Structure 1
Amino acid sequence: MSKVTAVQFAAFLLCCHYYTTVLCLSEVTRKEFPTDFVFGAGTSAIQYEGAWADDGKTPSIWDTSMHEGLFGEDTADIACDGYHKYKEDIKLMRDSGLEAYRFSISWPRLLPNGRGPVNPKGLEYYNNVIDELIKHGIQPHVTLHHLDIPQVLQDEYGGWLSPKFIDDFKELADVCFREFGDRVSSWTTLNEPNINSLSSFDYGFFPPHRCSSPFGDNCTAGNSAVEPYIAAHNMILAHSAAVELYREKYQDVQKGKIGVNIYSIWFTPLTNSIEDANATKRALDFILGWILNPLVFGDYPEIMKKNAGSKIPSFTDSQSQQVKGSYDFIGLNYYYSLYVAHDSSIPKTSPRDFTSDMFAKFTDFVDNPTGHRIIPPIRPKYDYDSLCKLLNHLKNAYSNPPIYIHENGFGVEFVDAMNDVARVSSLSGFIRSVREAIRDGSDVRGYFVWSFVDVYEWISGFTLRYGLYHVDFEGNGRERTPKLSAHWYHNFLKNGSAADIQNVGLRRANAHSS
């Protein structure tokens, strides 16, 4: 057999990706989903809006970290300039056929002091966004808090680490329900409290960058063994307080639904051993059950309480009753799956952090172990059926809660990002997986692509692009240009055929080559 050149091999892989995409799309259409199922896309405030100090907005903890240079030269000071370009983007959403748009409220834009007086300019902006969406027939799905806690609250009492966060978050929720609830029928309280707690208080990647050795790097303060549990506990209580407020004061009149968002991973045993099977169950309990068990059953998973011991806070009887059932739906952010193996090298008596409390190690490929850290690799293992497996697990273990896939996407480094064949293949494969889960009886009600346009991607800055639309971050106008994936999603939502997608792909490829 003759040797193949790198170019020939790359071309072969491209063809495989491309024809897999056509095959996937030929197997699933929009019409195969329930009529009330919604397809959309999303962004978040700090990643999209820009205007970081305009019209009365104060800094969030992310603004502070970015300006201290902790993430390199990229900042979200302008980001996509969505604060000024939202009308243009909503027209693109309409033209793309989006049925819903998920976005978040910037807490320091709406309540610059964290509480108290409402910023009229911030209020005007979100009213305008919601009105514009409805004008174009697009459902607004609103997240109250997506990581950007006001710096003033971080300075005052330590943000998420303090129970004072609960009352301040409840005040933010009350303002939003009162001002926007007549037009918003889908509310999400918090985005990813599980990963937020780990990234901010165990590993120290995210603001306020708290951690302790040997579990995190470059942190000047913190306790990785304890603080992730405390932060998540306060977030769960803040969530349930907001849900209780909504149900008692607003829901009967506004007729909306409210839930919480959880970062999710599907775990598979690395081997057929009992040890790896048990480690996989522990991983599911620690990552998903950490947030989901209290909402469904009123308490943390037993294995978490056993392994974490006194480090994990306890719910009082009244708190347990408030938390239990505090959701109308669960939002999932899903990107990839991991293999899990039991880790016998973790000492049972020495200090441990959240991850080592699982006594598990993770890998994205069998031959590529990543150690103890759950760090999403840039090019993870895209096992499309894994999403269906996750949804079936939630159906069986948690009484089949209503589910929205709030985020699902594929990040591409900014090299040939316009002809994003791999993204089309990934999204179509995952959509097919959602369809199979619905056929299996899962109560899935919506799917949102992350992200509608390229956005500021946290610690990756602008180097990793998830958008259906390319954003020219080098230009003053932040011009939007549809990628191949935008054309694909439009065709899918309009019930386009595989042939339609193929023609779009060929036109895009020809235009790119010329």
Structure 2
Amino acid sequence: MAAAVAAVSLLLFLSAQGAAPVLGFTRGDFPEDFVFGSATSAYQYEGAVAEDGRSPSIWDTFTHAGRMPDKSNGDIATDGYHKYKDDVKLVTDTNLEAYRFSISWSRLIPKGRGTVNPKGLEYYNNLIDELVRHGVQVHVMMYQLDLPQVLEDEYGGWLNPRIVEDFTAYADVCFKEFGDRVSYWTTLDEVNVAAVGSYDIGQIPPARCSDPFGVTKCTVGNSSVEPYIAAHNMLLAHASATRLYRAKYQAVQKGVVGINIYTMWPYPLTNSTADLEATQRFRDFYFGWIVEPLVFGDYPQAVKKNVGSRLPSFTKVQSEAIRGTLDFIGINHYYSFYVNDRPLEKGIRDFALDISAEYRGKTIRWLIHDYHLLLIILLYPWVFLSFIDMFGTYLQCYKIVEPNGTSNKTILWSRFKNRSTHWSGKISCRQLFRDTDDFTCFRHYVVQLGL
């Protein structure tokens, strides 16, 4: 692994709060090419949703309909559109070396395609220039689940193959306008959870699902089919944008393009064959579903077997085009849990039932009963080694499949977020640094990332 880039938001405290001595390591303990950074997403950060030509995204529609539990929205957010210079100063004051932000598609190209918004272009150029001026490495996420509402209304967004062409054209604008200063591009954020959260359980926009699978009452959708269609089109869009970059820009700009996925690490409840197979099946569905097409050109066999005709297939041309379109894999790691086998149900199934696994072990159900928990979350400080091993294997396979590829430029973006335990829903950075055991756990995570 040539380089590991970690965007660990908790490390905002590393220098500014004097955390390094408490953690027991310093910057010098990490390799020179290990980069500490932080990240933001456009809708959660920028605000200014109706300023300077920006059009609504699906998140605007979702939040303004009162779909958030706390009825919040991103109209103001943290006002990054106006305060980005102050935030860049915070990045440098805390000695972070990299910053990843996402571009609002509906701010840059308000109609989803065609005319570029000059004010949107000006904002992102100013932000990038400010980062460069302060010596901060620039990383860009092109899509963080905020599709222009106009494309959702016009043809159903990610459920329609037309999205591939529009996303590629949008990516072309990003590469052309910003690529002289941006070397690290992520096409799509958390593709797996985007597909499931948006089109299976309906928890995030465009909030599509069907009974009995939605976490809320959806008015439209098909939980059995749509997650697979959406992910399929996302993979094709990623591959198309990556091929475009390699053909048109990479030789001059020298950048790399990757994709980001949501990760949870499963442990088998027992060493029985059934539980071991269920654990591998979980990995195939959550990780292999997204990564294997980009490495081998097709979905894992377990996914194809359990989903059957509901799973879109790649044509021979598509398979060749999508294979090897990874310069790096970005991973957002949240938590771990036990997995045991569950018989494949007959009848209508969604993504979760297709996995044919139970995520909460039978021997710890007393905790679920006594504490009224939906899920037991296990926090293992050594879990990241498992991720490195697994994704390292994928990237080694990529080197074999694509010997002329750029997979030697391996980067792992890691984000520790929404850190949950079985006694609390969320824990803040400040709470974390008051808890010795949690602090030690986090220290082990960081050491494994860098060492």
Coarse TM-score class (shorter-chain normalised): 0.7 to 0.9
Q: Which residue of 1 aligns with 2:297?
A: 298
Per the alignment, do residues 379 and 269 of structure 1 end up closer, same or farther by CA in structure 2, a change over 3 Å counting? closer
Q: Give TM-score scaled by structure 2 length.
A: 0.85
Q: Which residue of 2 aligns with 1:57?
A: 54
Mapped to 1, the partners of 2:414 and 2:445 lie a distance apart of: 15
Q: Which amino acid aligns with 2:391?
A: L
Which stretches in structure 1 are left out of the alignment for 5+ residues?
1-20, 440-514
What is the aligned counterpart of 1:204 among 183, 188, 202?
A: 202
Residues 354-373 of structure 1: pairs in structure 2 closer than 5 A:
354-363=351-360, 367-368=364-365
Q: Which residue of 2 aligns with 1:189?
A: 187
Mapped to 1, the partners of 2:428 and 2:243 lie a distance apart of: 48
Q: Which amino acid aligns with 2:38?
A: A
Per-residue CA distance 1:444-499 (angstroms, 9 max, x = gap)? xxxxxxxxxxxxxxxxxxxxxxxxxxxxxxxxxxxxxxxxxxxxxxxxxxxxxxxx
Report how many aligned residue pairs link the two structures: 412
Per-residue CA distance 1:5-36 (angstroms, 9 max, x = gap)? xxxxxxxxxxxxxxxx989822x432232211
1:106 aligns with 2:104: yes
1:40 aligns with 2:56: no
Name whichever of 281-290 and 430-439 sits farther off. Answer: 430-439
Per the alignment, do residues 213 and 414 of structure 1 end up closer, same or farther by CA in structure 2, a change over 3 Å counting? closer
Superposition deviation, residue 381 in structure 1: 2.8
Mapped to 1, the partners of 2:329 and 2:64 lie a distance apart of: 34
Q: Which amino acid aligns with 1:123?
A: L
Per the alignment, do residues 324 and 438 of structure 1 end up closer, same or farther by CA in structure 2, a change over 3 Å counting? farther
In the alignment, is the contact (CA less than 8 A) between 1:263 and 1:332 conserved in 2? yes
Q: Which residue of 1 aligns with 2:75?
A: 77
Q: Which amino acid aligns with 1:337?
A: S
- Let me know the Cα RMSD of the aligned residues: 2.6
Q: Secondary structure at the match of 1:59?
A: coil
Q: Which residue of 2 aligns with 1:142?
A: 140
In the alignment, is the contact (CA less than 8 A) between 1:225 and 1:354 conserved in 2? yes
Mapped to 2, the partners of 1:258 and 1:318 lie a distance apart of: 21
Q: Which residue of 2 aligns with 1:394?
A: 391
Per the alignment, do residues 56 and 298 of structure 1 end up closer, same or farther by CA in structure 2, a change over 3 Å counting? same
Q: Secondary structure at the match of 2:265?
A: strand
1:334 aligns with 2:333: yes
Q: Which residue of 1 aligns with 2:226?
A: 227
Superposition deviation, residue 208 in structure 1: 1.1
Q: Which amino acid aligns with 2:237?
A: A
Which stretches in structure 2 are left out of the alignment for 5+ residues?
1-18, 398-406
Q: Which residue of 1 aligns with 2:211?
A: 213
Q: Which residue of 2 aligns with 1:492?
A: none
Q: Which amino acid aligns with 2:342?
A: D
Per the alignment, do residues 425 and 60 of structure 1 end up closer, same or farther by CA in structure 2, a change over 3 Å counting? farther
Per-residue CA distance 1:346-368 (angstroms, 9 max, x = gap)? 42x31111111110111389625
Sequence identity (%): 51
Q: Which residue of 2 aligns with 1:162?
A: 160
Per the alignment, do residues 397 and 184 of structure 1 end up closer, same or farther by CA in structure 2, a change over 3 Å counting? closer
Q: Secondary structure at the match of 1:399?
A: helix
Per the alignment, do residues 397 and 415 of structure 1 end up closer, same or farther by CA in structure 2, a change over 3 Å counting? closer
Superposition deviation, residue 428 in structure 1: 6.6
Name whichever of 317-326 and 142-151 sits farther off. Answer: 317-326
Name whichever of 208-217 and 175-184 sits farther off. Answer: 208-217
Name whichever of 232-241 and 317-326 sits farther off. Answer: 317-326
Mapped to 1, the partners of 2:228 and 2:366 lie a distance apart of: 26
Q: Which residue of 1 aligns with 2:235?
A: 236
Mapped to 1, the partners of 2:339 and 2:276 lie a distance apart of: 8
